[in-house]
Amino acid sequence: MRKTYRGSCHCGTVLFECELDLAQGTSRCDCSICTKGRFWKAIVPVGDFRLEQGDEALLLYRFGSNSIRHFFCSRCGVKPFGRGRLEELGDFYAVNLACLDDAAPEELAQAPVRYEDGRNNRWEQAPAETRHL
């Protein structure tokens, strides 16, 4: 079921709201930044995401193909979301599910997870090992 979630960074400087249906799926990948940050994401179309506070506190990090903009709070270091564009998705936000303040643990536990082999640029398939993700 589609629902409005509120989210934030750890210190509360960055606040956002997004509309999403966790039952539609989430993903974890084994690329270097997602692995090191334990980033668990849901894709949200641009029109369903609203940054409510903290734009001035966000720092931008890009690497590799520079196709995703990774945003971090300059005060606490938490990555609440990234932003990108893919031909098959259009413009989107990748919301860090750990930053959703009002997502119940039961909702998160029931959300389907798709694993992506980002380390080898084979996003359409799962890596051989996923238990660490």
CA distance 133 to 6: 24
3 state SS of 24: helix
Residue 115 lies in a domain: no
The verdict on residue 93 lying in a domain is yes
Apex CA 94: angle with CA 113 and CA 112, to 5°? 15
Q: What is the pLDDT of residue 67?
A: 81
Domain count, the chain: 1
Residue 124 burial (CB < 10 Å; 0-12/13-18/19+)?
exposed
Give a yes or no: residue 124 inside a domain.
no
- pLDDT of amino acid 102: 96
Regions of the chain with pLDDT less than 70: none
This prediction's pTM: 0.93
The dihedrals phi and psi of 131, each to the nearest 5 degrees, come to: -60, -30
In order of 10, 77, 116, the CA distances from 2 in angstroms are 25, 29, 24
> 125 lies in a domain?
no
CATH code, domain with 74: 2.170.150.70
Q: Kindly report the CA angle at 130 between 127 and 131, in degrees rounded to 5?
A: 165
Asked if the structure places residue 17 within a domain, the reply is yes
Range of the domain at 43: 3-24+38-102
pLDDT in tens, 63-77: 877 888 999 999 999
Domain for residue 69, yes or no?
Answer: yes
Residue 81 forms part of a structural domain: yes
What is the rounded average pLDDT for all residues in the chain? Answer: 95
Q: For residue 97, which amino acid is it?
A: L
In a domain, 97, yes or no: yes
